[in-house]
Amino acid sequence: MLPPTTKDEVKRFLGMMGFYRRFIPRFSEVASCLYTLTKPKCTFMWSDKCQNAFTELNQKLIHSPILIYPDFESEFEIYTDASDNAIGAVLMQRLEELNYKIENYPGALNNLADQFSRPAQSQSEVSVNKLELGLDICWETEQEKDKEVAVVKQAVKNGDTKELVELENAAFWNSNKEYLFVQDNVLMLKNYQGENSIVVPKQLRNTICNLYHDEITAGHLSYEKTYRAIALRYYWPHMRTEIYDFCQSCDTCQRMKPMIQLDKRPLKLTKNGNTHFYLAIDYISKYCITGAKPRTTAEETIRMVRNRVNSEALIPVTFAYNNAVHVSMGFSPNQVIFCKVLSTPSDRKLQIEPNPEPKDREEIEEQVRDKIGKAQMKQKKQYDKNVRDKNSFNPGDLVMLINSRQKVGQVRSFTPKFIGPYEVIKSIGEVIHEFKQW
Protein backbone atom coordinates (compact mmCIF):
# COMPACT_ATOMS: atom_id res chain seq x y z
CA MET A 1 0.00 0.00 0.00
CA LEU A 2 1.37 3.44 -0.93
CA PRO A 3 1.74 6.03 1.85
CA PRO A 4 -1.08 8.61 1.99
CA THR A 5 -0.43 11.92 0.26
CA THR A 6 -3.40 13.89 1.58
CA LYS A 7 -5.34 14.25 4.83
CA ASP A 8 -8.30 12.42 3.32
CA GLU A 9 -6.16 9.46 2.42
CA VAL A 10 -4.81 9.36 5.99
CA LYS A 11 -8.39 9.41 7.27
CA ARG A 12 -9.39 6.53 5.00
CA PHE A 13 -6.35 4.52 6.06
CA LEU A 14 -7.18 5.09 9.75
CA GLY A 15 -10.83 4.22 9.06
CA MET A 16 -9.75 0.88 7.66
CA MET A 17 -7.27 0.23 10.48
CA GLY A 18 -10.01 1.07 13.00
CA PHE A 19 -11.70 -2.14 11.89
CA TYR A 20 -8.73 -4.13 13.16
CA ARG A 21 -7.66 -1.98 16.10
CA ARG A 22 -8.78 -4.48 18.72
CA PHE A 23 -6.26 -6.95 17.33
CA ILE A 24 -3.36 -4.50 17.34
CA PRO A 25 -1.65 -3.93 20.69
CA ARG A 26 -0.95 -0.24 21.54
CA PHE A 27 -2.94 0.78 18.43
CA SER A 28 -3.75 4.32 19.57
CA GLU A 29 -0.16 4.92 20.66
CA VAL A 30 1.28 3.78 17.33
CA ALA A 31 -1.32 5.65 15.26
CA SER A 32 -1.35 8.86 17.32
CA CYS A 33 0.90 10.83 14.91
CA LEU A 34 -1.40 9.84 12.04
CA TYR A 35 -4.46 11.01 13.95
CA THR A 36 -2.68 14.32 14.61
CA LEU A 37 -2.22 14.70 10.84
CA THR A 38 -5.98 14.58 10.29
CA LYS A 39 -6.69 17.48 12.65
CA PRO A 40 -8.11 20.55 10.90
CA LYS A 41 -5.35 22.86 12.20
CA CYS A 42 -2.51 20.58 11.20
CA THR A 43 -0.91 21.03 7.78
CA PHE A 44 -0.15 17.79 5.95
CA MET A 45 3.52 16.87 6.55
CA TRP A 46 4.53 13.25 6.05
CA SER A 47 7.35 12.89 8.61
CA ASP A 48 9.61 9.90 9.29
CA LYS A 49 7.52 9.24 12.39
CA CYS A 50 4.37 9.02 10.26
CA GLN A 51 6.11 6.74 7.78
CA ASN A 52 7.25 4.47 10.63
CA ALA A 53 3.74 4.29 12.08
CA PHE A 54 2.32 3.59 8.63
CA THR A 55 4.84 0.81 7.98
CA GLU A 56 4.30 -0.72 11.42
CA LEU A 57 0.51 -0.79 11.01
CA ASN A 58 0.81 -2.22 7.52
CA GLN A 59 3.02 -4.97 8.89
CA LYS A 60 0.34 -5.86 11.44
CA LEU A 61 -2.13 -6.32 8.59
CA ILE A 62 -0.08 -9.09 7.05
CA HIS A 63 0.70 -10.94 10.27
CA SER A 64 -1.27 -13.04 12.74
CA PRO A 65 -3.88 -12.63 14.17
CA ILE A 66 -5.20 -10.41 11.35
CA LEU A 67 -3.84 -12.44 8.45
CA ILE A 68 -4.01 -16.16 9.12
CA TYR A 69 -4.25 -19.36 7.09
CA PRO A 70 -7.79 -20.00 5.92
CA ASP A 71 -9.79 -22.72 7.58
CA PHE A 72 -11.58 -24.52 4.75
CA GLU A 73 -13.96 -26.13 7.23
CA SER A 74 -15.57 -22.82 8.16
CA GLU A 75 -17.50 -20.29 6.14
CA PHE A 76 -15.91 -17.50 4.11
CA GLU A 77 -17.35 -14.03 3.84
CA ILE A 78 -16.69 -11.50 1.11
CA TYR A 79 -16.98 -7.75 1.75
CA THR A 80 -17.22 -5.70 -1.39
CA ASP A 81 -17.52 -2.07 -2.28
CA ALA A 82 -17.36 -0.08 -5.49
CA SER A 83 -16.60 3.50 -6.37
CA ASP A 84 -16.81 5.16 -9.78
CA ASN A 85 -13.60 3.61 -11.01
CA ALA A 86 -12.66 0.63 -8.86
CA ILE A 87 -14.01 -2.41 -7.07
CA GLY A 88 -12.63 -3.61 -3.74
CA ALA A 89 -13.16 -6.89 -1.93
CA VAL A 90 -11.94 -8.52 1.26
CA LEU A 91 -12.18 -12.24 1.92
CA MET A 92 -12.77 -12.91 5.61
CA GLN A 93 -13.49 -15.69 8.04
CA ARG A 94 -15.30 -15.66 11.35
CA LEU A 95 -13.14 -15.24 14.39
CA GLU A 96 -14.29 -17.37 17.31
CA GLU A 97 -14.56 -14.57 19.83
CA LEU A 98 -16.30 -12.09 17.56
CA ASN A 99 -19.72 -13.55 16.81
CA TYR A 100 -20.44 -11.89 13.45
CA LYS A 101 -23.95 -11.55 12.13
CA ILE A 102 -24.62 -10.30 8.60
CA GLU A 103 -27.35 -7.73 8.52
CA ASN A 104 -27.59 -4.04 8.10
CA TYR A 105 -24.36 -2.07 7.87
CA PRO A 106 -24.46 1.38 6.25
CA GLY A 107 -21.80 2.05 3.62
CA ALA A 108 -19.97 4.74 5.53
CA LEU A 109 -19.10 2.13 8.15
CA ASN A 110 -17.76 -0.32 5.64
CA ASN A 111 -14.30 1.21 5.87
CA LEU A 112 -12.53 -1.94 4.97
CA ALA A 113 -13.75 -2.71 1.48
CA ASP A 114 -14.21 1.02 1.01
CA GLN A 115 -10.47 1.59 1.42
CA PHE A 116 -9.70 -0.83 -1.40
CA SER A 117 -12.39 0.44 -3.72
CA ARG A 118 -11.30 4.06 -3.53
CA PRO A 119 -8.40 5.16 -5.60
CA ALA A 120 -6.72 8.35 -4.39
CA GLN A 121 -8.77 11.57 -4.70
CA SER A 122 -12.02 9.68 -5.26
CA GLN A 123 -14.86 11.39 -3.38
CA SER A 124 -17.70 9.23 -4.62
CA GLU A 125 -20.53 7.92 -2.46
CA VAL A 126 -20.07 4.60 -0.73
CA SER A 127 -22.42 1.75 -1.53
CA VAL A 128 -24.48 0.01 1.14
CA ASN A 129 -23.22 -3.25 2.54
CA LYS A 130 -24.76 -5.27 5.31
CA LEU A 131 -22.96 -6.44 8.39
CA GLU A 132 -23.21 -6.16 12.12
CA LEU A 133 -20.90 -6.91 14.98
CA GLY A 134 -22.47 -8.46 18.08
CA LEU A 135 -20.74 -7.51 21.33
CA ASP A 136 -21.76 -10.78 22.96
CA ILE A 137 -22.52 -9.27 26.33
CA CYS A 138 -23.84 -11.55 29.03
CA TRP A 139 -25.73 -9.21 31.35
CA GLU A 140 -25.84 -11.74 34.15
CA THR A 141 -22.04 -12.17 34.26
CA GLU A 142 -21.39 -8.47 33.74
CA GLN A 143 -23.66 -7.55 36.66
CA GLU A 144 -21.76 -10.02 38.88
CA LYS A 145 -18.53 -8.16 38.10
CA ASP A 146 -19.86 -4.92 39.59
CA LYS A 147 -19.89 -5.57 43.35
CA GLU A 148 -22.53 -2.97 44.11
CA VAL A 149 -24.96 -4.20 41.45
CA ALA A 150 -24.32 -7.80 42.54
CA VAL A 151 -25.22 -6.95 46.15
CA VAL A 152 -28.39 -5.16 45.08
CA LYS A 153 -29.42 -8.09 42.91
CA GLN A 154 -28.94 -10.52 45.78
CA ALA A 155 -30.86 -8.25 48.14
CA VAL A 156 -33.76 -7.96 45.68
CA LYS A 157 -33.76 -11.72 45.19
CA ASN A 158 -33.82 -12.32 48.95
CA GLY A 159 -36.47 -9.66 49.39
CA ASP A 160 -34.24 -8.14 52.06
CA THR A 161 -33.35 -4.56 51.12
CA LYS A 162 -31.76 -3.69 54.48
CA GLU A 163 -28.27 -4.34 53.09
CA LEU A 164 -28.71 -1.52 50.57
CA VAL A 165 -28.01 1.09 53.27
CA GLU A 166 -24.31 0.16 53.27
CA LEU A 167 -23.85 0.84 49.55
CA GLU A 168 -22.22 3.82 47.84
CA ASN A 169 -25.47 4.81 46.14
CA ALA A 170 -27.70 3.78 49.03
CA ALA A 171 -30.10 6.69 48.45
CA PHE A 172 -30.61 5.75 44.81
CA TRP A 173 -31.25 2.06 45.45
CA ASN A 174 -33.52 2.85 48.37
CA SER A 175 -35.70 5.31 46.51
CA ASN A 176 -36.01 2.86 43.60
CA LYS A 177 -36.35 -0.36 45.58
CA GLU A 178 -40.00 -0.93 44.73
CA TYR A 179 -39.22 -0.74 40.99
CA LEU A 180 -36.28 -3.16 41.13
CA PHE A 181 -36.78 -6.79 40.14
CA VAL A 182 -34.78 -9.77 38.89
CA GLN A 183 -35.67 -11.41 35.58
CA ASP A 184 -33.65 -14.32 34.14
CA ASN A 185 -31.12 -13.58 36.86
CA VAL A 186 -30.60 -10.02 35.55
CA LEU A 187 -31.32 -7.01 37.77
CA MET A 188 -33.93 -4.79 36.09
CA LEU A 189 -35.85 -1.64 36.93
CA LYS A 190 -39.29 -0.49 35.84
CA ASN A 191 -38.63 3.00 34.46
CA TYR A 192 -40.71 6.17 34.30
CA GLN A 193 -42.56 4.92 31.18
CA GLY A 194 -43.30 1.63 32.88
CA GLU A 195 -40.80 -0.16 30.66
CA ASN A 196 -38.30 -2.74 31.89
CA SER A 197 -34.75 -1.44 31.81
CA ILE A 198 -31.52 -3.28 32.55
CA VAL A 199 -29.41 -2.05 35.47
CA VAL A 200 -26.03 -1.40 33.85
CA PRO A 201 -22.89 -2.39 35.77
CA LYS A 202 -20.11 0.23 36.14
CA GLN A 203 -17.75 -1.22 33.54
CA LEU A 204 -20.34 -0.99 30.73
CA ARG A 205 -21.73 2.49 31.36
CA ASN A 206 -19.27 4.24 29.09
CA THR A 207 -19.86 1.69 26.31
CA ILE A 208 -23.60 2.35 26.52
CA CYS A 209 -23.06 6.12 26.26
CA ASN A 210 -20.83 5.52 23.27
CA LEU A 211 -23.28 3.25 21.48
CA TYR A 212 -26.29 5.54 21.96
CA HIS A 213 -24.49 8.79 21.16
CA ASP A 214 -21.52 8.13 18.86
CA GLU A 215 -22.82 5.37 16.60
CA ILE A 216 -23.85 6.35 13.09
CA THR A 217 -27.53 5.66 13.78
CA ALA A 218 -27.28 7.48 17.13
CA GLY A 219 -26.26 10.64 15.32
CA HIS A 220 -24.55 12.66 18.11
CA LEU A 221 -27.89 13.96 19.29
CA SER A 222 -28.27 16.35 22.22
CA TYR A 223 -27.69 15.33 25.81
CA GLU A 224 -31.43 15.22 26.49
CA LYS A 225 -32.13 12.95 23.50
CA THR A 226 -29.16 10.70 24.30
CA TYR A 227 -30.36 10.45 27.89
CA ARG A 228 -33.88 9.52 26.86
CA ALA A 229 -32.69 6.92 24.34
CA ILE A 230 -30.65 5.28 27.07
CA ALA A 231 -33.28 5.65 29.79
CA LEU A 232 -35.76 3.76 27.61
CA ARG A 233 -33.54 0.71 27.84
CA TYR A 234 -31.15 1.03 30.80
CA TYR A 235 -30.76 2.42 34.29
CA TRP A 236 -27.93 3.13 36.71
CA PRO A 237 -27.26 5.55 39.57
CA HIS A 238 -26.46 9.13 38.47
CA MET A 239 -26.92 8.20 34.84
CA ARG A 240 -28.17 11.68 33.99
CA THR A 241 -24.97 13.34 35.18
CA GLU A 242 -22.78 10.73 33.54
CA ILE A 243 -24.55 11.03 30.19
CA TYR A 244 -24.43 14.82 30.46
CA ASP A 245 -20.67 14.76 31.04
CA PHE A 246 -20.23 12.30 28.21
CA CYS A 247 -22.13 14.46 25.70
CA GLN A 248 -20.54 17.70 26.90
CA SER A 249 -17.06 16.27 26.42
CA CYS A 250 -17.81 14.65 23.02
CA ASP A 251 -15.15 15.97 20.67
CA THR A 252 -17.29 15.63 17.53
CA CYS A 253 -20.19 17.53 19.12
CA GLN A 254 -17.94 20.35 20.27
CA ARG A 255 -16.54 20.80 16.79
CA MET A 256 -19.78 20.47 14.87
CA LYS A 257 -22.48 22.07 17.05
CA PRO A 258 -24.32 24.77 15.11
CA MET A 259 -23.65 28.44 15.59
CA ILE A 260 -26.43 30.96 16.00
CA GLN A 261 -26.07 32.66 12.60
CA LEU A 262 -27.66 30.81 9.69
CA ASP A 263 -25.86 30.38 6.42
CA LYS A 264 -28.26 31.28 3.63
CA ARG A 265 -26.16 30.74 0.54
CA PRO A 266 -27.67 28.44 -2.12
CA LEU A 267 -26.37 24.89 -2.08
CA LYS A 268 -23.97 23.78 -4.78
CA LEU A 269 -25.06 21.49 -7.58
CA THR A 270 -24.38 17.90 -6.50
CA LYS A 271 -23.07 15.12 -8.72
CA ASN A 272 -26.60 13.88 -9.36
CA GLY A 273 -27.73 17.36 -10.36
CA ASN A 274 -29.64 18.06 -7.12
CA THR A 275 -29.89 21.65 -5.95
CA HIS A 276 -32.45 21.35 -3.15
CA PHE A 277 -32.27 19.63 0.19
CA TYR A 278 -35.64 18.79 1.66
CA LEU A 279 -36.72 18.11 5.20
CA ALA A 280 -40.38 17.26 5.78
CA ILE A 281 -41.75 16.89 9.30
CA ASP A 282 -45.15 15.54 10.28
CA TYR A 283 -46.85 18.07 12.51
CA ILE A 284 -48.09 15.65 15.17
CA SER A 285 -45.64 12.75 15.26
CA LYS A 286 -42.59 14.89 14.27
CA TYR A 287 -41.61 12.02 11.94
CA CYS A 288 -39.15 13.39 9.42
CA ILE A 289 -37.97 12.50 5.94
CA THR A 290 -34.98 13.98 4.15
CA GLY A 291 -33.37 13.91 0.73
CA ALA A 292 -32.14 15.85 -2.29
CA LYS A 293 -34.00 16.91 -5.44
CA PRO A 294 -33.19 18.85 -8.60
CA ARG A 295 -36.60 20.60 -8.65
CA THR A 296 -39.25 21.52 -6.14
CA THR A 297 -42.49 21.36 -8.13
CA ALA A 298 -45.59 20.22 -6.23
CA GLU A 299 -45.80 17.01 -8.24
CA GLU A 300 -42.17 16.07 -7.56
CA THR A 301 -42.54 16.86 -3.88
CA ILE A 302 -45.62 14.67 -3.45
CA ARG A 303 -43.95 11.79 -5.28
CA MET A 304 -40.85 12.14 -3.14
CA VAL A 305 -42.86 12.09 0.12
CA ARG A 306 -44.79 9.02 -1.01
CA ASN A 307 -41.68 7.12 -2.04
CA ARG A 308 -39.65 8.03 0.97
CA VAL A 309 -41.88 7.48 3.97
CA ASN A 310 -41.05 3.79 4.23
CA SER A 311 -37.38 3.96 3.32
CA GLU A 312 -36.26 6.53 5.90
CA ALA A 313 -35.04 3.86 8.29
CA LEU A 314 -32.23 3.21 5.82
CA ILE A 315 -30.74 6.67 6.23
CA PRO A 316 -28.75 6.70 9.48
CA VAL A 317 -29.18 10.39 10.31
CA THR A 318 -32.91 10.37 9.67
CA PHE A 319 -33.22 7.16 11.65
CA ALA A 320 -31.35 8.75 14.55
CA TYR A 321 -33.72 11.70 14.51
CA ASN A 322 -36.90 9.61 14.17
CA ASN A 323 -35.79 7.25 16.90
CA ALA A 324 -34.88 9.95 19.42
CA VAL A 325 -37.40 10.80 22.12
CA HIS A 326 -38.82 14.31 21.68
CA VAL A 327 -38.76 16.28 24.86
CA SER A 328 -42.05 17.92 23.91
CA MET A 329 -43.84 14.59 23.29
CA GLY A 330 -42.14 12.15 25.64
CA PHE A 331 -42.05 9.73 22.67
CA SER A 332 -39.90 9.31 19.59
CA PRO A 333 -41.52 9.86 16.15
CA ASN A 334 -40.98 6.14 15.50
CA GLN A 335 -42.91 5.32 18.69
CA VAL A 336 -45.83 7.46 17.53
CA ILE A 337 -45.85 6.04 13.98
CA PHE A 338 -45.11 2.39 14.75
CA CYS A 339 -46.48 2.30 18.33
CA LYS A 340 -43.28 0.74 19.66
CA VAL A 341 -39.61 1.46 20.25
CA LEU A 342 -37.69 0.38 17.13
CA SER A 343 -34.43 -1.48 17.80
CA THR A 344 -31.23 0.23 16.78
CA PRO A 345 -27.98 -1.41 15.64
CA SER A 346 -26.67 -0.62 19.14
CA ASP A 347 -29.53 -2.60 20.69
CA ARG A 348 -28.64 -5.53 18.50
CA LYS A 349 -24.98 -5.24 19.42
CA LEU A 350 -25.98 -5.50 23.06
CA GLN A 351 -28.53 -8.19 22.28
CA ILE A 352 -31.47 -6.45 23.85
CA GLU A 353 -34.87 -5.86 22.39
CA PRO A 354 -36.37 -2.72 23.85
CA ASN A 355 -40.00 -3.21 24.79
CA PRO A 356 -41.21 -5.29 21.86
CA GLU A 357 -44.89 -5.08 22.77
CA PRO A 358 -46.73 -2.52 20.62
CA LYS A 359 -48.78 0.00 22.55
CA ASP A 360 -52.28 1.20 21.91
CA ARG A 361 -52.25 3.87 19.16
CA GLU A 362 -55.08 5.93 20.61
CA GLU A 363 -53.43 5.99 24.00
CA ILE A 364 -50.16 7.21 22.50
CA GLU A 365 -51.89 9.89 20.43
CA GLU A 366 -53.78 11.17 23.43
CA GLN A 367 -50.62 11.39 25.50
CA VAL A 368 -48.80 13.16 22.64
CA ARG A 369 -51.52 15.81 22.29
CA ASP A 370 -51.46 16.43 26.00
CA LYS A 371 -47.65 16.68 26.14
CA ILE A 372 -47.46 18.99 23.10
CA GLY A 373 -49.95 21.38 24.67
CA LYS A 374 -47.93 21.52 27.88
CA ALA A 375 -44.66 21.90 25.97
CA GLN A 376 -46.03 24.87 24.04
CA MET A 377 -46.90 26.60 27.30
CA LYS A 378 -43.41 25.89 28.62
CA GLN A 379 -41.77 27.19 25.45
CA LYS A 380 -43.72 30.39 25.71
CA LYS A 381 -42.60 30.90 29.29
CA GLN A 382 -39.01 30.22 28.34
CA TYR A 383 -39.18 32.63 25.41
CA ASP A 384 -40.65 35.33 27.60
CA LYS A 385 -37.79 35.08 30.03
CA ASN A 386 -35.32 35.86 27.22
CA VAL A 387 -32.27 35.12 29.27
CA ARG A 388 -28.86 34.68 27.80
CA ASP A 389 -26.09 33.04 29.71
CA LYS A 390 -22.86 34.99 29.98
CA ASN A 391 -19.68 33.02 29.60
CA SER A 392 -16.89 33.58 32.05
CA PHE A 393 -13.50 31.98 31.77
CA ASN A 394 -10.68 31.47 34.24
CA PRO A 395 -6.98 31.02 33.50
CA GLY A 396 -6.28 27.40 32.79
CA ASP A 397 -9.75 26.74 31.30
CA LEU A 398 -9.79 24.94 27.98
CA VAL A 399 -11.95 26.58 25.32
CA MET A 400 -12.95 25.99 21.70
CA LEU A 401 -12.90 28.95 19.26
CA ILE A 402 -15.43 29.73 16.53
CA ASN A 403 -13.79 28.67 13.29
CA SER A 404 -13.93 31.78 11.12
CA ARG A 405 -11.24 30.63 8.72
CA GLN A 406 -13.26 29.21 5.88
CA LYS A 407 -11.58 28.25 2.67
CA VAL A 408 -12.98 29.19 -0.74
CA GLY A 409 -15.19 26.41 -2.07
CA GLN A 410 -15.71 24.77 1.31
CA VAL A 411 -19.31 24.07 2.28
CA ARG A 412 -19.88 25.61 5.68
CA SER A 413 -22.19 22.88 6.95
CA PHE A 414 -19.38 20.38 6.60
CA THR A 415 -16.53 22.40 8.14
CA PRO A 416 -15.97 22.25 11.90
CA LYS A 417 -17.72 25.16 13.61
CA PHE A 418 -15.13 25.22 16.37
CA ILE A 419 -11.38 24.75 16.53
CA GLY A 420 -9.09 24.12 19.45
CA PRO A 421 -8.82 23.42 22.29
CA TYR A 422 -6.98 26.56 23.51
CA GLU A 423 -5.96 27.33 27.05
CA VAL A 424 -7.01 30.64 28.61
CA ILE A 425 -3.97 32.54 29.94
CA LYS A 426 -5.74 35.58 31.35
CA SER A 427 -8.93 37.60 30.97
CA ILE A 428 -8.38 41.17 29.79
CA GLY A 429 -12.02 42.20 29.91
CA GLU A 430 -15.42 40.59 30.21
CA VAL A 431 -15.29 39.42 26.61
CA ILE A 432 -11.58 39.62 25.79
CA HIS A 433 -9.35 36.74 26.77
CA GLU A 434 -5.77 35.87 26.02
CA PHE A 435 -5.14 32.24 25.18
CA LYS A 436 -2.61 29.89 23.70
CA GLN A 437 -2.68 26.66 21.75
CA TRP A 438 -3.14 23.77 24.17
By beta-carbon proximity to Zn ion, the closer residue of 220 and 326 is: 220
* 248 makes contact with Zn ion (CB under 5 A): no
Binding residues for Zn ion, total number by CB under 5 A? 4
Nearer to Zn ion, 287 or 319 (CB): 319
Which of these segments, 80-88, 192-200, 213-221, 302-310, binds Zn ion (CB under 5 A)? 213-221
Output the smallest distance, CB 311 to Zn ion, in A: 26
Beta bridge partners of 399: 422
Q: Is 252 in the site for Zn ion (CB under 5 A)?
A: yes
Q: What span, in angstroms and rounded, lies between the C-alpha atoms of 342 and 354? A: 8
Q: Are 163 and 151 in contact (CB under 8 A)?
A: yes
Q: Using DSSP, state whether 189 is helix, strand or coil.
A: strand
Q: Which is nearer to Zn ion, 198 or 253 (CB)?
A: 253
d(CA 334, CA 144): 34
Burial label for 2, CB within 10 Å (0-12, 13-18, 19+), is exposed
> How many other β-carbons are positioned within 10 Å of the β-carbon of residue 14?
19
Stretch that binds Zn ion, among 103-111, 160-168, 246-254, 373-381 (CB under 5 A): 246-254
Binding mask 253-292 for Zn ion (x = CB under 5 A): x---------------------------------------
Question: Residue 257 Cβ, how far from Zn ion at the closest point, in Å?
Answer: 9
- Alpha-carbon separation of residue 180 from 195, 356, 357 (angstroms): 12, 20, 20
CB of 258 to Zn ion, least distance (A): 13
CB of 255 to Zn ion, least distance (A): 9
Q: At what angle do helices 7-18 and 27-37 cross, to 10 degrees?
A: 160
The answer to whether residue 220 forms part of the interface with Zn ion (CB under 5 A) is yes
Q: Which stretch binds Zn ion (CB under 5 A): 53-61, 222-230, 250-258, 268-276?
A: 250-258
- Annotate each residue in 166-205 with x if it binds Zn ion (CB under 5 A) or - if it does not, as one string: ----------------------------------------
Residue 136: left if φ>0, alpha if ψ -120 to 50, beta else—which one? Answer: left
Compare residues 4 and 316 and give the one whose CB is closer to Zn ion.
316
Cβ proximity to Zn ion: between 225 and 326 the closer is 225
Task: Report if residue 109 touches Zn ion, rule: CB under 5 A.
Answer: no
What's the min distance (Å) between Cβ of 208 and Zn ion? 14
DSSP per-residue letters across 104-166 = -B-GGG-HHHHHHH--TT--PPPPPB--EE-----HHHHHHHSHHHHHHHHHHHHT-GGGGGG
Calculate ∠ Cα 404-407-412, nearest 5°: 65
Amino acid at 186: V
- Of 250, 329, 336, 337, the one binding Zn ion by CB under 5 A: 250
Q: Which residues of the chain form contacts with Zn ion (CB under 5 A)?
A: 220, 250, 252-253
